[in-house]
Structure 1
Amino acid sequence: MKSQVYEERWRLESVIDKINPQNCHADQNAASEQRTESQSGRWVLQNDDFQAWRNVNNASSNPLLYINGIPGAGIDFNQILRFLRVYSQLMDEGKTVLASLIIETLLKQDNIPVLFFYCKHRQQEKSTFAGILRGLLAQIIPKDATLVSWFGERCSSLDRQKLGSPEILEELARFAFNSQRISLVVLDGLDECNAEEIKKTISWFVSYQGANHTGTGQIRLMCIGQRIDILQTMLASATSISLDNSCHRDDIAKYVVGKTRNIQEKFKIKPDTFSQISFRVMKTAKGSILFYIRF
């Protein structure tokens, strides 16, 4: 019995090693740690469109959901205080607090694969269609012993280079998703990918959703990102939840105050200057999910 368990574990680790994914759970943990307020973002969880999307028994609901905020604008605080370069680096990491809360909530659902990926524009493997598929495959394979066995056989003759080709990854993804009755997929920060990778990613998922999956193989896709033209066009058929509202602005206020207060203490900033910085960041951020300070 122990030898069988060891063999299955070795096979799984071998497959995952060949797929060579990014550590999505590490990204989720990092994003979750950014939450400074226990109630931040919870208004989304009560949203009717979100509830309809996550209800896998509601066949009439739209399987494509787009949660969007206005694009972040740049602010130059260089003349105010040099320490804002540190703040810029913190914000530029793009830790999406709202996405982490949604993912954390969805993961509590029983017997439904919940897969997620955080796109990062400065990291090659986190901003491509191939990288996204790798990350999702690494999460779904361990959920099913049959998948582990099939992938072990299918990947035995493939090295990392061959397995990394889009054609092979798409084949593996189709098989993996088809093996499940339904899967929930959350992609955060697609706006951080270039246009070509955005097109590849959304086109593949929308095409897959459009195929006739009766009984098994269904995907419910949620995209979270800034409202940019290409996403607006390619997700035109999606149900949309806008973050340009008072609830999200309150969350931004709490988040910014928490972040700047840490820096205030570190750099011994005067209260008046601290208030000015927080106000200007919140004013510019408006409904954006990811807002940056660029120099």
Structure 2
Amino acid sequence: MKGRVLLVTAGTLAVVLAGCGSGGESAVPPAGGATTSPDLFKDAPVAEAAAILPGSTMERIKQRGKLIVAEALDAPLLSQQNPSNPDEVTGFDADLAKLLAVYILGKPEVEIVPPATETREALLANGTVDVVFNTYTITEERATQVAFAGPYFESGLAVAVKSGNTGIKGVDDLGGRKVIVGANTPAVTEVPKVQPTAQIITFGTDPQAVTALLQGRGDAYVQDLTILASDAKANPQLSVVGNPFTKEPYGIGLKHGDDDFKKFVNDWLKKVQDGGQWAQAWKSSLGTVVDSAPPTPPAIGSVPGS
């Protein structure tokens, strides 16, 4: 069974997001190396008919025949569009979204709406998308606007340097250095807590930050580990060093107040964790650049806001 992906075009997206804010544009980098395992959907769980409650979000999705997902198209290993085949989107987040579609529909039928960071809450609130798979860190503040299923993965802030830089091996070496961070990301406040003498330089998008690092405008780039892994896969000149120094629990964004759908998605998440599909999706994506066994998934509901 092969996942079919429908993409909202740029023109359609502009209409969809009218009144929701706008985000910076970024070019799609070369394919990041993630592939969807041909066996991923073979034994994937499908919800029993009784779980599709009358009048529920699950029933509306099933009647529509596709799951609408807010998901990036330019994040190698997470959700990366194939430049030679735009209908093919692969990565950890992309595969989990397809697995959720299988659970509801019996087939991996998804439509992707690429979000900007500042539009994710609006896309859920106005019903444009059903779920958000977009490295969406769970916080208590965000949980006042959206519901979070999960967490489905736990990442954290890590350090990247230009390849060949042996003077920085992790966050302990950032004192007095020029450190690049993404605007409105946790790194803005977390780096000064650990290294008060670091000089913080902010950039609006991840591609801008990577370019600045490779051009030597900073000594290191601090960002979420999964994003840095994607960057390193697409840019051999960049190396991820050391271990994460914070914990970033990623949640599946849902419309606020939809308790039935949240329980449904959490039930599905537990099933794909126990059934091995979660680990299989990790191995074929993030696991291609991480030299270790698949991590233990975080406990569902284990962080404030989830």
Work out whether the TM-score is over 0.5. Answer: no
- Measured against the shorter chain, the TM-score band is 0.3 to 0.5
- TM-score, normalization: structure 1? 0.33
Please state which structure has a larger fraction of its residues in strand.
2
Please state which structure has a larger fraction of its residues in helix.
1
> Which structure would you say has the larger Rg?
1
